Amino acid sequence: MPEKAYSRSLKERQKRQREELILQCAEAVLLEKGYHDMSMDEIAARVGIAKGTVYLHFAKKEDLVHALLDREMLSVLQMIETAKAMDGTVRARLETILRSLYPGLSEKRDHLLYLLFSESDIRTAMHEKHSAVMYEMSMQVTQLLEEGKARGEFRAEIPTRVMLLTFFSLLSARSYKRTLKDWDIEPEVVIDNIAGIYFRGIAADRPERHDEDEAR
Amino acid sequence: MPEKAYSRSLKERQKRQREELILQCAEAVLLEKGYHDMSMDEIAARVGIAKGTVYLHFAKKEDLVHALLDREMLSVLQMIETAKAMDGTVRARLETILRSLYPGLSEKRDHLLYLLFSESDIRTAMHEKHSAVMYEMSMQVTQLLEEGKARGEFRAEIPTRVMLLTFFSLLSARSYKRTLKDWDIEPEVVIDNIAGIYFRGIAADRPERHDEDEAR
Amino acid sequence: MPEKAYSRSLKERQKRQREELILQCAEAVLLEKGYHDMSMDEIAARVGIAKGTVYLHFAKKEDLVHALLDREMLSVLQMIETAKAMDGTVRARLETILRSLYPGLSEKRDHLLYLLFSESDIRTAMHEKHSAVMYEMSMQVTQLLEEGKARGEFRAEIPTRVMLLTFFSLLSARSYKRTLKDWDIEPEVVIDNIAGIYFRGIAADRPERHDEDEAR
Amino acid sequence: MPEKAYSRSLKERQKRQREELILQCAEAVLLEKGYHDMSMDEIAARVGIAKGTVYLHFAKKEDLVHALLDREMLSVLQMIETAKAMDGTVRARLETILRSLYPGLSEKRDHLLYLLFSESDIRTAMHEKHSAVMYEMSMQVTQLLEEGKARGEFRAEIPTRVMLLTFFSLLSARSYKRTLKDWDIEPEVVIDNIAGIYFRGIAADRPERHDEDEAR
DNA sequence: TATGAATGAGATTTCATTCAT
DNA sequence: CATGAATGAAATCTCATTCAT
């Protein structure tokens, strides 16, 4: 039954397409209104399908948001992996990641990432669900940070985990966006200086000894 | 009528006590469940009073949360002012503030402060209401940062506003607390290193000139 | 114990005074806001006493309104009796009554009378309670109308009860007050013509026999 | 897609039916209990649907009542227009209208019309909403009254507006229905005599024709 | 006796979720 | 499959009434 197989894969493709569409619209609503004020009605309306159809793809509102965040995190993970594979100093690669994640700078206006750490509802609901991808993300950056330590770029005394924590903390500055708006300050200047503070903060004292350290 | 005056002040005191109790319970629920999942019913139940009684003290749910945040912010503001008036380097004073605010370290387990910057509902609802206290808080820290620049402690090239922004960003690390728990790392070590990263990140290049600046 | 008696009568008098005050304020609120939007809180506040004190005088909101309407009806009854005892034609006496009751004309801006016939809540609540005074009121006007018939002023064919009903119907025109306001028409002109229509409507065909009746 | 069209019109029809059912039940409750004591719960229960379903048709309680009154007023307006287009004297046509509106006579037991003029809550809430239909109703009757004046049927001295006002006042007699019940008097006799009083009250004098009419 | 804080039933409204068509 | 009407639990807020002081 090749027809059926074809048909099935077609259907499958259509299903994925629609799922993608739902996720996109849901993301928009989530970013605009937050978790609680995001209604299934509005999402369905934006996609142009019936509310029931959304439930064919995602059994619960929570599941939809979970899928949303997972997708976002996977894309972030890919970005991290790409950046990690780049040439240059570790700092340069981490800075690339930081700039990609910094809200208001990337093509995508806003990152959902920060939602995971801000809205307590989501945190409660999603609890452990994202552990795998989050762990992977953390591991990638951890590896970079440790490579930086090994290369003598970063201070070895600072626990890598704290470096990691601080790295992600910088992103939550998004919350201050409103405040930033009032100030007439360019986003690029902001991120430049934030990166400056962070990397100077973790930089090893004497970068010239870097070769010696390696040789050691 | 001294009796009446006494009686009135007694009632007043009882009212304040009850209000305090409501605020405490509400704070707990708010931190546990977030703004939307915090129900007036639950607050009343925790306090051990009827729902209507809560409304005798706070006309709307929003008002209750507003009072909550205001109280918190005022207490933070007082702490900041106290720390600001201390002796020692600017860094030492800012570090005191940072440690006071850092969640999981102070006596009070959690700070509501971060809620103001995280939950989009609260942000929208409270938006302008806290501007005065928030502005004051920002100004106090801004003054400290600029004093640090003037003394040659901090790098003059970094815009003070970005320093401020980054300073507060560090606090939002609270979101990672769950993650931190998994890691076997002492909170004190965490905050020590975070402070280390931040202050090294904003430190002027040659601290030995510091004395010259002072003598100037 | 003459003291106690004196004291008791004093207290009694004070109680009546306060009751009167409550009734006055309640009347004002009732006329301004209607039965449901009239809150016991507001009444107490206007009187300047505590809400509980109102309940010392009137066990339920319903009872308060009942007392209110009863008082109003008694005063109307007195007015009717006075008018009834006047000299002149029956029509003249009934017109006096009509003008007294017509809202927007008497000293008191508004009559509560119409409330009894309008707000269905009150009707339901008060159901039979006012039967005695209402019956008395109806009887007085009925007697006048029958006197008018006997004197040949009014058409004998019309059942007196329908005359009575129509007489009171005219008062409910108050509901159209808002409409009237839009029209630039004097209240006096309105009531003159309403009276004109009514009394012409019930007038006997040959008023010349009226004198004979009078001479009788 | 005739099926879909059929299906849609079917759904549409069902929706209208359901809406009609809700309106009928709501009307009953409204007449029985008044605006405030009419609860959405009771309406839903009477219709036999869930509370939420009522809100699918009417977004707010106020909207439901508004629809109710609008429907009623439109039906009254149609009746008035039909009556107005009839042959015969103006009085005959107005009497038709009066009898149609008189509560307790028409097929429908009760008219909502009077509610619009009685319950202060409704008046406030609906205030301007019905102005168009109410204005139209008033205009139709006004035209009739003026036609009657022009034809010499009615007294030209009485302001048409007062005639109009009095005309509608007669309807509010409904409030006395309860009282009427106690009296053993036929509704037909009541409305006959009320009409008699009103039209005699506004009839033009023309004594010479009067005899002819009488002799007829 | 007067008070007014406390109560809690009840009203409106929202919205995630289900299910017959 | 897709639909969207129906559901009903739950949330906020009001206010007549009670009762300890």
pLDDT in tens, D1-23: 445 555 567 778 888 899 999 99
SS3 A159: coil
Rounded to an integer, what distance in angstroms lies between the CA atom of residue C159 and that of residue C26? Answer: 38
Query: Checking phi first, is residue A48 left (phi over 0); if not, alpha (psi -120 to 50) or beta?
Result: left
Q: Which residues contact D138 (CB under 8 A, 6 or more apart)?
A: C179, D164
Q: Does nucleic acid strand F have an atom less than 7 angstroms from the CB of D49?
A: yes
Residue B195 has pLDDT above 70, yes or no: yes
Q: Which nucleotide in the DNA or RNA is closest to residue B38, CA to C1'?
A: F11
Residue C108 has pLDDT above 70, yes or no: no
In this prediction, residue D58 carries a pLDDT of 97
In this prediction, residue A215 carries a pLDDT of 41
User: Which two structure tokens, joined as six digits, stand for C76?
Assistant: 């109307």
SS3 A50: coil
In this prediction, residue B144 carries a pLDDT of 97
User: Which two structure tokens, joined as six digits, stand for A41?
Assistant: 């009605």
- In 10 A of CB C10, how many CB atoms? 10
Nucleotides of E under 7 A from a protein CB: 1-20
- In 10 A of CB D154, how many CB atoms? 24
Average pLDDT on A94-117 reads 76
Residue D61 has pLDDT above 80, yes or no: yes
Helices D61-84 & D40-47, crossing angle to 10 degrees?
A: 70
Q: Specify the length of chain C in residues.
A: 216
Mark yes or no for CB contact A163/B197 under 8 Å: yes
Mark yes or no for CB contact A183/B161 under 8 Å: yes
Which chain D residues are closer than 8 Å to C202 by Cβ? 197, 200-201
SS3 C216: coil
Q: Protein A72 CA to nucleic acid E10 C1', in Å?
A: 45
Which chains lie within 8 Å of chain D at 3 or more CB pairs, if any? C
Q: Domains in chain C, please, with CATH?
A: 1-59 (1.10.10.60), 61-215 (1.10.357.10)
Residue D111 has pLDDT above 60, yes or no: yes
Residue B61 has pLDDT above 60, yes or no: yes
**H/E segment holding residue A76:** helix A61-84
Residue B181 has pLDDT above 70, yes or no: no
Residue C210 has pLDDT above 60, yes or no: no
Instruction: Select the more confidently predicted residue: D31 or A172.
Output: D31
Q: How confident is the model at residue B34 (pLDDT cuts 50, 70, 90)?
A: confident
Q: Which residue is nearest to nucleotide E14 (CA to C1')?
A: D52
Residue D196 has pLDDT above 90, yes or no: yes
Q: How confident is the model at residue A9 (pLDDT cuts 50, 70, 90)?
A: confident
In this prediction, residue D105 carries a pLDDT of 61
In this prediction, residue D208 carries a pLDDT of 43
Q: How confident is the model at residue C131 (pLDDT cuts 50, 70, 90)?
A: low
- In 10 A of CB A166, how many CB atoms? 25
- Tens digits of residue pLDDT in C146-161: 999 999 999 999 999 9
Rounded to an integer, what distance in angstroms lies between the CA atom of residue C135 and that of residue C128? Answer: 11
- In 10 A of CB D135, how many CB atoms? 13
Q: How confident is the model at residue A1 (pLDDT cuts 50, 70, 90)?
A: very low
What's the count of helices (H) and strands (E) in chain C, helices before strands? 12, 0
Q: Is chain A in touch with chain B: ≥3 Cβ pairs within 8 A? A: yes
Q: Which nucleotide in the DNA or RNA is closest to residue A50, CA to C1'?
A: F3
Average pLDDT on C2-15 reads 69
Which chain A residue has the Cα nearest residue B200?
A: A201
In this prediction, residue A177 carries a pLDDT of 58
Q: Does nucleic acid strand E have an atom less than 7 angstroms from the CB of A48?
A: no
Q: Protein D204 CA to nucleic acid F7 C1', in Å?
A: 63
Q: How confident is the model at residue B209 (pLDDT cuts 50, 70, 90)?
A: very low
Phi (first) and psi of residue B205, to 5 degrees = -65, -45
Q: Does nucleic acid strand E have an atom less than 7 angstroms from the CB of A60?
A: yes
Residue A40 has pLDDT above 50, yes or no: yes
Instruction: Select the more confidently predicted residue: C208 or B84.
Output: B84
Which chain C residues are closer than 8 Å to D193 by Cβ? 158-159, 162-163, 166
Mark yes or no for CB contact C170/D169 under 8 Å: yes
Burial class (CB in 10 A: 0-12, 13-18, 19+), A128: exposed
Residue C26 has pLDDT above 50, yes or no: yes
Q: Does nucleic acid strand F have an atom less than 7 angstroms from the CB of C125?
A: no
Instruction: Select the more confidently predicted residue: C126 or B57.
Output: B57
| Torsion over CA: D160, D165, D170, D171 (sign) | positive
Q: Does nucleic acid strand E have an atom less than 7 angstroms from the CB of B61?
A: no
Chain A: nearest CA to B215, how far in angstroms? Answer: 27
| Torsion over CA: C143, C89, C175, D198 (sign) | positive
In this prediction, residue C214 carries a pLDDT of 45
Q: How confident is the model at residue B4 (pLDDT cuts 50, 70, 90)?
A: low
Rounded to an integer, what distance in angstroms lies between the CA atom of residue D190 and that of residue C158? Answer: 9
In this prediction, residue A125 carries a pLDDT of 64
- Tens digits of residue pLDDT in A50-84: 999 999 999 999 999 999 988 888 899 999 999 99
Mark yes or no for CB contact B162/A185 under 8 Å: yes
Q: Does nucleic acid strand E have an atom less than 7 angstroms from the CB of A50?
A: no
In this prediction, residue B189 carries a pLDDT of 87
Rounded to an integer, what distance in angstroms lies between the CA atom of residue B146 and that of residue B154? Answer: 8
Q: Which nucleotide in the DNA or RNA is closest to residue C41, CA to C1'?
A: F15
Rounded to an integer, what distance in angstroms lies between the CA atom of residue B108 and that of residue D167? Answer: 74
In this prediction, residue B131 carries a pLDDT of 67
Which chain D residue has the Cα nearest residue C176?
A: D117
**What end-to-end distance do the CA atoms of chain B give, in Å?**
64
**H/E segment holding residue C125:** helix C120-126
Rounded to an integer, what distance in angstroms lies between the CA atom of residue D186 and that of residue D192? Answer: 10
> Which residues numbered 46-75 in chain D sit less than 7 A from strand E, measured from CB?
51-52, 55, 59-62
Which chain C residues are closer than 8 Å to D198 by Cβ? 166, 197, 201
- Tens digits of residue pLDDT in C27-74: 999 988 888 999 999 999 999 999 999 999 999 999 999 999 888 888
In this prediction, residue C138 carries a pLDDT of 87
Residue D91 has pLDDT above 60, yes or no: yes
SS3 C154: strand
Provide the mean pLDDT of chain D: 83
Average pLDDT on B195-216 reads 71
In this prediction, residue A170 carries a pLDDT of 86
Average pLDDT on A110-135 reads 71
Rounded to an integer, what distance in angstroms lies between the CA atom of residue C62 and that of residue C31? Answer: 15
From residue A134, alpha-carbon distances to A148, A162, C201 in Å are 21, 16, 90
Instruction: Select the more confidently predicted residue: A176 or C87.
Output: C87
Which chain B residues are closer than 8 Å to A185 by Cβ? 159, 161-162
Instruction: Select the more confidently predicted residue: D117 or A94.
Output: A94
Instruction: Select the more confidently predicted residue: B101 or D89.
Output: D89
Chain C: nearest CA to D174, how far in angstroms? Answer: 9
Burial class (CB in 10 A: 0-12, 13-18, 19+), C51: middle
Rounded to an integer, what distance in angstroms lies between the CA atom of residue D32 and that of residue D38? Answer: 8
Mark yes or no for CB contact D34/C120 under 8 Å: yes
Q: Protein D3 CA to nucleic acid F6 C1', in Å?
A: 23
SS3 D203: strand
Rounded to an integer, what distance in angstroms lies between the CA atom of residue D185 and that of residue D183? Answer: 6
Burial A12-39 (b: 16+ CB within 10 A, else e): eeeeeebbeebbebbbbbbbeebbbebe
Q: Among residues D110, D102, D30, which one has the least CA distance to residue D66?
A: D30
pTM (two decimals): 0.86
In this prediction, residue D1 carries a pLDDT of 43
Q: Which residue is nearest to nucleotide F9 (CA to C1')?
A: D52
Q: Does nucleic acid strand E have an atom less than 7 angstroms from the CB of B109?
A: no
Provide the mean pLDDT of chain A: 83
From the list C118, C138, C173, the residue facing D119 with the nearest CB is C118
Mark yes or no for CB contact A34/B120 under 8 Å: yes
Instruction: Select the more confidently predicted residue: C205 or A200.
Output: A200
- Tens digits of residue pLDDT in D127-177: 666 667 888 888 999 999 999 999 999 999 999 999 998 998 888 755 555
Residue C99 has pLDDT above 80, yes or no: yes
From the list C119, C166, C190, the residue facing D118 with the nearest CB is C119
> Which residues numbered 39-58 in chain A sit less than 7 A from strand F, measured from CB?
49-53, 55-56
Q: How confident is the model at residue A105 (pLDDT cuts 50, 70, 90)?
A: low
Q: Does nucleic acid strand F have an atom less than 7 angstroms from the CB of C172?
A: no
In this prediction, residue B1 carries a pLDDT of 43
In this prediction, residue B211 carries a pLDDT of 47
Rounded to an integer, what distance in angstroms lies between the CA atom of residue D185 and that of residue D193? Answer: 12
Q: Protein B35 CA to nucleic acid E16 C1', in Å?
A: 18
Instruction: Select the more confidently predicted residue: D42 or C188.
Output: D42
Instruction: Name which of C61, C112, C117, C167 to mutate to probe chain D: the one with the most chain D Cβ atoms within 10 A of its Cβ.
Output: C117
Q: Which residue is nearest to nucleotide E2 (CA to C1')?
A: C53
Residue B17 has pLDDT above 70, yes or no: yes
Q: Which residue is nearest to nucleotide E7 (CA to C1')?
A: B50
Which chain C residues are closer than 8 Å to D120 by Cβ? 33-34, 37, 118-119
Instruction: Select the more confidently predicted residue: B45 or C136.
Output: B45
Nucleotides of F under 7 A from a protein CB: 1-20
Residue C203 pairs in a beta bridge with: C154
Average pLDDT on B99-118 reads 70
From the list A33, A162, A196, the residue facing B190 with the nearest CB is A162
Rounded to an integer, what distance in angstroms lies between the CA atom of residue C135 and that of residue B137? Answer: 73
Q: Which nucleotide in the DNA or RNA is closest to residue A40, CA to C1'?
A: E16
In this prediction, residue B105 carries a pLDDT of 60
